[in-house]
Amino acid sequence: MSMGNERVLLSAEVAATEALGEALGRGLDAGDVVALRGDLGTGKTALTRGIARGLGVTEPVQSPTFALLHEYPGRTTLYHFDAWMSGREVGFLESGGAQLLGGDGVCVVEWAERIAPYLPDARLEVVLAHLGPTRRSLRFTVLGAGERAERLAGLVA
């Protein structure tokens, strides 16, 4: 279902979520931020694995919960950030990590709502939700204005 700069897609399994991410990753460019929201187990890391493949990343992608950030080389660098650990992420961002958001690579942020004030205005938000044991909904919403937001809107159209 498409609604302007918002689109809702359904995924029946992890492989389908990864495939959606891969298609998205092919269109992402340096400076793009993908903000992921959703409960535990909704597929945030699975979507990120797909985005990584779309960016040409060949390394295995893992949740960066305890490391805060994993960096993966590809067509453009993927910065995979996890804001789950309350408190540590703010110190990381304030000591220079915020430069990665909208910087020289693609930044995917899990639990993005926890660092909303640090996120750039123009970004893609993806809200993942459980629909059943393996089914998920993914709501893609482009926020902000300008060239970047317009290009991101083209990716979710």
Q: Which pLDDT does position 2 carry in this prediction?
A: 33
Q: Which pLDDT does position 87 carry in this prediction?
A: 66
In contact, 48 and 61? CB cutoff 8 Å: yes
Please report which confidence band the pLDDT of residue 96 belongs to, taking 50, 70 and 90 as the band edges. Answer: low
Task: Write out pLDDT tens, residues 125-148.
Answer: 999 999 999 899 999 999 999 999
Mean pLDDT of 8-14: 94
Q: Which pLDDT does position 1 carry in this prediction?
A: 29
Beta strands at 106-110 and 33-38: parallel, antiparallel or unpaired: parallel
What are the structural domains, with CATH classification, of the chain?
2-156 (3.40.50.300)
Mean pLDDT of 101-121: 87
Mean pLDDT of 85-105: 69
Please report which confidence band the pLDDT of residue 3 belongs to, taking 50, 70 and 90 as the band edges. Answer: very low
Closest CA to 100 of 31, 6, 2: 31
Please report which confidence band the pLDDT of residue 103 belongs to, taking 50, 70 and 90 as the band edges. Answer: confident
Task: Give this prediction's pTM.
Answer: 0.89
Q: Copy the structure tokens of residue 120.
A: 């750039």
Please report which confidence band the pLDDT of residue 13 belongs to, taking 50, 70 and 90 as the band edges. Answer: very high
Q: Which pLDDT does position 95 carry in this prediction?
A: 60
pLDDT exceeds cutoff 60 at 150: yes
The per-residue DSSP string of 87-132 comes to THHHHHHHTTGGGGTTSSSEEEEETGGGGGGGS-SSEEEEEEEESS
Query: Measured in whole angstroms, how far is the alpha carbon of residue 85 from the centre of its chain?
Result: 17
